[in-house]
Amino acid sequence: MKTQLLLGLLCLHLTLSAATVKDSILALVPGSDEVFRYGYNELSPADQAKYEAILTAILQFDANKAGGIDHRVDIPWSSDMNALTAMLRRMQTDVPQLWVLFNYIPRYNYDTYQARISTVNTPESFLHDLLTIDTVFRKITAPITPDMSAYHKVKVLHDGFIAEVSYGNPSGANAGNIKGALIEKRAVCEGFSRAFLYLCQGVGIRCVYVSGSNTNGRHAWNHVEVDGKWYVVDLTADGAFAGHCGYDGFLRGQTYFDEHYTIADDDVPYNNLPTLSATDCPEPAQQPTSVETCSEVPMIDVTRPMFNVVGQRVGANYRGIVIQNGRKYVLNR
pLDDT in tens, 75-114: 878 778 888 889 999 999 999 999 988 777 787 766 667 7
User: For the chain, where are the E strands, in sequence order?
Assistant: 70-75, 106-109, 112-118, 166-167, 186-187, 207-214, 217-226, 229-233, 250-252, 299-300, 306-307, 313-314, 321-324, 327-331
User: Residue 190: enclosing H or E segment and its boundaries?
Assistant: helix 189-203
Question: Can you give the pTM of this predicted structure?
Answer: 0.83
Residue 43 CA from chain centroid, whole number: 21
Over the stretch 152-186, which tens digit does the pLDDT of each residue have?
999 999 999 999 999 988 888 899 999 999 999 99
Q: How far apart are CA 77 and CA 112, in angstroms?
A: 5
> Concatenated DSSP letters for 110-152?
TTEEEEEEE-S--HHHHHHHHHHHHHHHHHHHTT--TT--HHH
331, β-bridge pairs: 300
Residue 132 backbone class (left: φ over 0; alpha: ψ -120 to 50; beta: rest) = alpha
Sign of CA dihedral 255, 259, 261, 265: positive
Residues of the chain with pLDDT under 70: 1-16, 65-68, 109-112, 240-244, 287-333
